[in-house]
């Protein structure tokens, strides 16, 4: 099981959530929403080598947390993964869009200077702006567009720009999500839940629920579930290699 975008620190019992993931053997990219949450969230998973903690600054809090960019830059040297970052174009957050752009631009520049990072990126109602900024920072690393909801045209551009994707059961419940996933390059797709925000049947998803995406992808791609599992495992290994051998040595050979 691979959940490449979950908020372990935002479950009601974060330590319990980590322990369950450890027992289940789930590979998790544990994303954070503020730089000040990173060290504590990372510490939670110190006995769980399959959990990797990404340094993030979520676009929905960019205007409140932009002062934490200096902390972000300090911590970046120790984090192979960055996320959740990106832009949020929903009308509730539109008044803060210029702050979001300034924060995301700063982060992409910092990642470029640091030699590139694996980045889990939010692009809801802002896919074109996100892609413009990624194009302007080609050395920022490997972008993984999480829960992509753009148009087919934006998807085609994202693929051309070398983006990867993480898709989950909640996204694949919608007709548009399925249509997008059907057009994604099969070797650049990871599974995710976005739990506890990602929900299914009014229940917050747990990282092990990322497995629910496998049969859904198998149907869309006309492949067996075993083939899809192998593809997703392969994508995890490739992304791990991109994150740097010093981080991944001896790991994720599955
Ligand atoms: Mn998220």
The pair of structure tokens assigned to 31 is: 């994303």
Ligand 1 centroid–CA 84 distance in Å is 6
Ligand 1 centroid–CA 136 distance in Å is 24
What fold is seen in the domain 2-245? TIM Barrel (3.20.20)
Check residue 242 and give its pLDDT: 76
Ligand 1 centroid–CA 132 distance in Å is 21
Over residues 21-78, the pLDDT tens digits come to 999 999 999 999 999 999 999 999 999 989 999 999 999 999 999 999 999 999 999 8
Its pTM stands at 0.96
Ligand 1 centroid–CA 183 distance in Å is 22
Ligand 1 centroid–CA 147 distance in Å is 9
The pair of structure tokens assigned to 6 is: 């979950």
Q: Are 235 and 210 in contact (CB under 8 A)?
A: no
Lowest mean pLDDT among 17-21, 56-60, 202-206, 234-238: 234-238
Check residue 251 and give its pLDDT: 41
Ligand 1 centroid–CA 207 distance in Å is 12
| Domain boundaries along the sequence of the chain | 2-245
Q: Is the pLDDT of residue 247 over 70?
A: no
Ligand 1 centroid–CA 173 distance in Å is 17
Alpha helices in the chain (DSSP H): 14-24, 38-44, 62-65, 69-76, 97-113, 127-136, 152-160, 169-172, 175-182, 213-221, 225-243, 245-248
Report cis status (omega within 30 of 0) of the bond before 157: no
Ligand 1 centroid–CA 235 distance in Å is 20
Over residues 65-92, the pLDDT tens digits come to 999 999 999 999 989 899 999 999 999 9
Ligand 1 centroid–CA 143 distance in Å is 15
253 — pLDDT class (breaks 50, 70, 90): very low
* CB-facing half-sphere around the CA of 230: CA atoms within 13 A: 5
| Spatial strand order in the sheet of 2-6 | 2-6, 27-31, 51-54
* DSSP assignments along 121-186, one per residue: EE-TT-HHHHHHHHHH-TTSEEEEEET----HHHHHHHHHTT-EEEE-HHHHTSHHHHHHHHTS-G
DSSP 3-state of 34: coil
Over residues 135-148, the pLDDT tens digits come to 999 999 999 999 99
Distance, in Å, from the CA atom of 16 to the CA atom of 18, rounded to the nearest integer, reads: 5
The pair of structure tokens assigned to 134 is: 């990624």
CA geometry: angle 44, 194, 130, nearest 5 deg:
110
Ligand 1 centroid–CA 111 distance in Å is 20
Ligand 1 centroid–CA 226 distance in Å is 27
Ligand 1 centroid–CA 5 distance in Å is 6
Averaged pLDDT of the chain: 94
The residue among 198 and 243 whose pLDDT is bigger is: 198
Check residue 18 and give its pLDDT: 98
Residues facing 199 on adjacent strands: 204
Ligand 1 centroid–CA 194 distance in Å is 5
């Amino acid at each position: 099981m691979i959940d490449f975008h979950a908020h372990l620190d935002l479950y009601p019992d974060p330590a319990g959530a980590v322990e369950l993931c450890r027992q289940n053997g789930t590979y998790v990219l544990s994303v954070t929403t503020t730089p000040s949450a990173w060290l504590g969230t990372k510490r939670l998973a110190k006995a769980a080598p399959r959990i990797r903690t990404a340094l993030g600054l979520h676009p929905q809090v960019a205007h409140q947390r932009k002062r934490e960019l200096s902390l972000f830059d300090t911590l970046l040297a120790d984090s192979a993964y960055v996320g959740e970052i990106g832009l949020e174009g929903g009308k509730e957050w539109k008044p803060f869009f210029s702050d979001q752009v300034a924060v995301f631009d700063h982060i992409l520049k910092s990642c470029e200077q640091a030699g590139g990072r694996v980045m889990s990126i939010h692009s809801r109602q802002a896919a074109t702006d996100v892609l413009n900024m990624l194009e302007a920072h080609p050395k920022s690393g490997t972008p993984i567009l999480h829960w992509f909801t753009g148009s087919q045209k934006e998807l085609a551009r994202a693929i051309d720009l070398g983006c990867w994707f993480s898709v989950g059961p909640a996204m694949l419940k919608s007709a548009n999500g399925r249509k997008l996933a059907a057009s994604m390059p099969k070797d650049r797709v990871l599974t995710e839940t976005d739990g506890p925000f990602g929900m299914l049947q009014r229940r917050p998803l747990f990282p092990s629920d990322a497995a629910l995406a496998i049969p859904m992808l198998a149907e869309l791609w006309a492949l067996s579930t075993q083939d899809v599992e192998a593809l997703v495992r392969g994508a995890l290994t490739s992304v791990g290699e991109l994150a740097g051998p010093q981080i991944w040595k001896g790991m994720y050979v599955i």
